[in-house]
Amino acid sequence: MYFLLCSSCLHAQDSPYNARSYFEAEHNNTYQSLVKKVAKNEPLSEEEFKYFEEHKNYLTSFYQNLSDSEKERYEKNKLKWSGQPKEGSGEEDSTTVDITPVGSNPERKFYLNNGLYGLGYGITSIFLFEIDGPGAVALPILSLGISMSFPAINKKKYEGIDYSTIMMTRHGKFIGLLDGAALGFLLYGDISEDSKKGKAFAATMMATSIALGEVGFHVGKKQKFPEGQVATYKYYSLLVPFLTFSGLVIGNVDDPRVYGASVLVAGAASYWYAGKVYNKYKFTRGNMLASSSFGLLSTGFGFGISPMEKPWHFIFPAITAIGGTYAAHRIFKNTKLSSKQGLNTNYASLVGTTVGFLVALFIPTDSHHVILLLPVATGTAVWAVYAARYKKEQYWTSRKDHKKWTDMSFSFTPQNYFINKRLGKSTSGDGLKTGLPLFSLKLKL
């Protein structure tokens, strides 16, 4: 039924997979009205969200079926088509909006993202090549400038990017650092007493980050993953390796190569498991942002209650990390937070945690329990307030949209008393006196 509805905007083209047909599907009036609501941070009802996600997935599938020439044609003509009248109506399409999240420019975000990692790569290069003097200052700045200029130098590469592409690139570069470290331990073992191994380790991290960043970019640009799916991948690509690392610590494993190999395998397996989680819950990016902060707070709680004196004590943060993740998934099971709501929850939790940490610094104690548990408590309290607020907003919006039981309205019109007096009393055929009502109550079941 859904795809039959979508096909109504494709009839004008001979081939079902062409640039113009994709543009018309993308600018479907109903879908664009929901895009506007999301951009304004307005909660969607359950039915609206279902339609929004289905159409978004439909567009992703449609785009993947476009030939390269049709994709180029779409990128070349989309601005012109946005200014054209609707076919057969003679009116301009006033519902067209940019679906890039929060009014941001994806290329600008790539400038910033590339610059940040370029700065880090430049600093790493100082260590690798043992540069000192003015060169040690100039190299990171030069690396930052070159990295930020990539979108301007190779404009064709960055055409058609969206926030999903940005998220995949960021994730690739960040997870590349962690996987590079795991690969470094697997290849070089203990690096603490060998400077050559230390340099090779750093070079492996940098090369893996660059390589996986490119992989993430091209995969994200080609496949157009939903943002919620990318966010789910990001979270579990950290959680599963952490749990694996914890298991090795609990088992009192000493060999760095075992840690490296195990974390690499766990990282690969995390994507499989994250895919199953996303297919079950269909979380939004906002859901996963809020869930990740609660998972982090739960992990901090585990460290706070753990004695941290023996290797097996690592079981505490491992258990609380799993429990916090499961609890967050249950909390947001039937709630679809927007990205802005998820970010607001995270920022508020960060402020709460910071306040708790600053207060803990004034407490004269060397106990890690106090230093960790107090910030966790304040951060969790703030998180709970924001999570409950957004869940409540969406609940009442859903009730209002569905109108499952009644629709009632009441009006009071005292001026009708004077009108009735002036007109005089009238009598209906069955002897009842009639006139304009002083109040009315409408009840629609």
Whether 49 contacts 336, CB under 8 Å: yes
- Residue-level pLDDT at 99: 39
On the 0-12 / 13-18 / 19+ scale of CB atoms within 10 A, 287 is buried
Task: State both tokens at 10.
Answer: 């494709």
Q: Which of 429, 368, 344, 395 is nearest to 41 (CA)?
A: 344
- Residue-level pLDDT at 28: 82
Number of independent structural domains in the chain: 2
- Measured distance CA(335)–CA(394) in Å, rounded: 7
- 124-to-114, 144, 170, 200 alpha-carbon distances in Å: 15, 12, 18, 11
- 351-to-123, 293, 343, 365 alpha-carbon distances in Å: 30, 12, 12, 23
Q: Identify residue 59 by its one-letter amino acid code.
A: L
- Residue-level pLDDT at 319: 97
- Residue-level pLDDT at 421: 66
- Residue-level pLDDT at 107: 60
Q: Is residue 425 part of a domain?
A: yes
- Given 83, 99, 115, the domain boundary residue is 99
- Given 80, 99, 118, the domain boundary residue is 99
Q: Is residue 431 part of a domain?
A: yes
- Given 73, 99, 125, the domain boundary residue is 99
Q: Is residue 124 part of a domain?
A: no
Q: Can you tell me whether residue 45 is helix, strand or coil? A: coil
- Residue-level pLDDT at 84: 47
Q: Is residue 420 part of a domain?
A: yes
Q: pLDDT tens digits, the chain, 445 residues: what are they?
A: 333 334 434 333 444 568 888 888 888 878 888 888 777 666 667 677 777 777 887 787 777 777 777 777 888 888 777 764 444 333 333 333 333 333 345 566 777 888 899 999 999 999 999 898 888 999 999 999 998 888 778 888 877 777 778 889 999 999 999 999 999 999 999 998 888 999 999 999 999 999 999 999 999 888 878 888 899 999 999 999 999 999 999 999 999 999 999 999 999 999 999 999 999 988 988 999 999 999 999 999 999 999 999 999 999 999 999 999 999 999 998 888 888 889 999 999 999 999 999 999 999 988 999 999 999 999 999 999 999 998 888 766 655 554 444 455 556 566 666 666 666 654 444 444 556 676 666 655 5
Q: Is residue 332 part of a domain?
A: no
For residue 152, count other CB atoms closer than 10 A to its CB: 11
- Measured distance CA(131)–CA(129) in Å, rounded: 6
For residue 396, give every residue at least 6 positions away whose Cβ sits within 8 Å of its Cβ, in sequence order, or none: none
Sign of the torsion formed by the C-alpha atoms of 244, 246, 250 and 253: positive
- Residue-level pLDDT at 82: 74
- Domain hosting residue 63, numbered range: 2-99
- Measured distance CA(181)–CA(4) in Å, rounded: 50
Whether 405 contacts 385, CB under 8 Å: no
- Residue-level pLDDT at 1: 36
- Measured distance CA(272)–CA(19) in Å, rounded: 33
pTM for the full model? 0.69
Q: Is residue 367 part of a domain?
A: no
Whether 11 contacts 52, CB under 8 Å: no
Q: Is residue 435 part of a domain?
A: yes
Q: Is residue 47 part of a domain?
A: yes
Q: Which of 221, 183, 226 is nearest to 202 (CA)?
A: 183
